Chain A
Amino acid sequence: MIRLENVSKYYKSLCVLKDINTSMAKGSIVALIGPSGCGKSTLLKCINGLTPVTEGKIFVDNVEITSRKTDLNKIRTEVGIVFQQFNLFPHLTVRENINLAPLKVKKMNKNDVEIQTMYLLEKVGLLDKIDKYPDQLSGGQAQRVAIARSLAMQPKVMMFDEPTSALDPQMTQEVLDTIKSLSKEGMTMVVVTHEMGFAKEIADKIIFLSRGRIIEEGSPTRIFNTPGNEITEKFIKSILKSKNEILHTQNEVG
């Protein structure tokens, strides 16, 4: 479904991604993990053409998106992206947020769009919020609307960039549940996350990125149980440790 060949990305002289070679199978779920600033967001943005690569090739569904000839707006409709900060359009209602791209970009029929929007909101459990504005939603609700908005374009791939990092634990759970339910439907997904338990549970493959390079990739069991690399091991431990500390302090306070 997605294939990256020798992808490098520079911002001026700063090397953000270096020689990335990997592939993601159709219907599979890939979790992208790694320390902050290692290039995870940049990698996602390269995959749906939000930012150009400096070197290398990226194929989505056998179309080379890094070629000049490719219509990037079309690629972006095929690869949906959900951001950490939701980025809902604040001047539009939930309904309008979800309707807009199918109507204006895909030129879908208005009735079909309305029906699809209701279906998607039902799916993320927010049909009752259809006429609310984004500032009337909680963070978890806003993120689920953002997911519905992306799904409305009927993408072949969904990418999530730290979808729960801006949320408290309870809201995190509702968003993770939504993503999990999508995974059961066979959607190809790339998820950037610091939720190790979640990654382990849903991912078919884990890619560990450090300083712009893939330093390890493989099945969750292998990466978590027998990390072949010191950096990976350290990172996983540090994340699990900080999680435990949070739980600890919460228990003490509670």
Chain B
Amino acid sequence: MYEIDFNVIADTLPTLIKGIEITLFISLISSLAAFLIGITVVFLRTMCTTPFRAAGTAYVEIIRNTPLLIQIYFVYKALPGLGAFLSPITCGIIALSIYTGAYISEVLRSGVNSVNIEQYEAAKGLGFNRLQSFILIIFPQAIRVVIPPLGSQFINLVKNSSLVSFISVSDLFYVIYKGAVDDFRFFEFFLVGVVLYMTLTGIIALASNLIEKYVEFHGKEVRT
């Protein structure tokens, strides 16, 4: 009979903490980069001329229709062939950012499409250029209506970050998996994994809820 023994966890605590740190680091940097990519792409796709729109659409479709794992390996194995030698962590961050950026741009695009067309006219009528209109007027209204799906994208990112263990990054998943296999302690390690990942994603869900409440007051259009 299998005896549950959580002492094994205590023994690997230092590596476990290191793993959490790496997962946090990758997730944070990738979140920021993915958000910036998403904003840029949605600007190209909604405010720019046809060639830029087409480029934005092509990017989103390519990324959404291929497995993340292939993208991670592509960055890890194919870029060095082109002369770019990057650490596994950097490769993981690049792949995750590009992947999540495509999804975030889609979420933001639905928000931008919900902004009334007359807001563009009002902005233009006051002399704002396209970039100013987007940053100062359209985007702040767009993001208000997409906070929950945006939160989901960041949660997905944290979960997807576990795939970087495939390219020998010692992230949280890698540490858990290794602990489980080395000691034959699957139950303990995977249970700890579930709890830790849920804690990280739970924080994002909570933040997303708070932000949604905070912005909900003054996002509405005035109509008579």
Contacts and interface: CB of A to CB of B under 8 A. Distances in A.
Nearest to A81: B125
Interface string A175-218: 00000000000000000000000000000000000000000000
Contacts of A90: 141, 218-222
A142 B222 CA distance: 8
B223 A85 contact: yes
A134 B219 CA distance: 10
Contacts of B203: none
A167 interface: yes
B222 A134 contact: yes
Given A50-B121, A76-B125, A89-B122, A166 B224 contact: yes
Interface in B111-164: 116, 118-119, 121-129, 132, 136-137, 140-141, 144
A133 B124 contact: no
Nearest to A84: B118
B136 A104 contact: yes
A48 B222 contact: no
A153 B126 CA distance: 7
Contact of B127 (A73, A91, A135): A73
A67 B75 CA distance: 48
Given A50-B121, A83-B122, A104-B136, A88 B127 contact: no
A241 to B, nearest CB: 25
Given A87-B118, A105-B132, A149 B126 contact: yes
Interface residues of A, number: 33
A101 B118 contact: no
A153 B221 contact: no
Contact of A89 (B124, B137, B217): B137
A91 B219 contact: yes
Q: Point out which of B122, B127, B137, B221 has the most chain A C-beta atoms below 10 A from its C-beta.
A: B127
Contacts of A167: 224
A91 B121 contact: no
A100 interface: yes
Contacts of A150: 125-126
Contacts of A149: 126
A220 interface: no
Given A83-B118, A87-B119, A91-B140, A76 B222 contact: no
Given A85-B223, A135-B222, A101 B127 contact: yes
A104 B140 CA distance: 16
B224 A139 contact: yes
Contacts of A86: 222
Interface of B: 116, 118-119, 121-129, 132, 136-137, 140-141, 144, 217-224
Q: What are the 9 closest A-B residue pairs judged by CB atoms, nearest first? A: A87-B122, A139-B224, A77-B127, A101-B126, A105-B127, A133-B218, A134-B222, A76-B127, A81-B125
Interface of A: 45, 48, 50, 73-74, 76-77, 80-81, 83, 85-91, 100-101, 104-106, 133-135, 137, 139, 142, 149-150, 153, 166-167
13 contacts: A50-B125, A76-B125, A83-B121, A85-B118, A85-B223, A87-B121, A91-B144, A101-B126, A101-B127, A106-B127, A133-B218, A135-B220, A153-B126
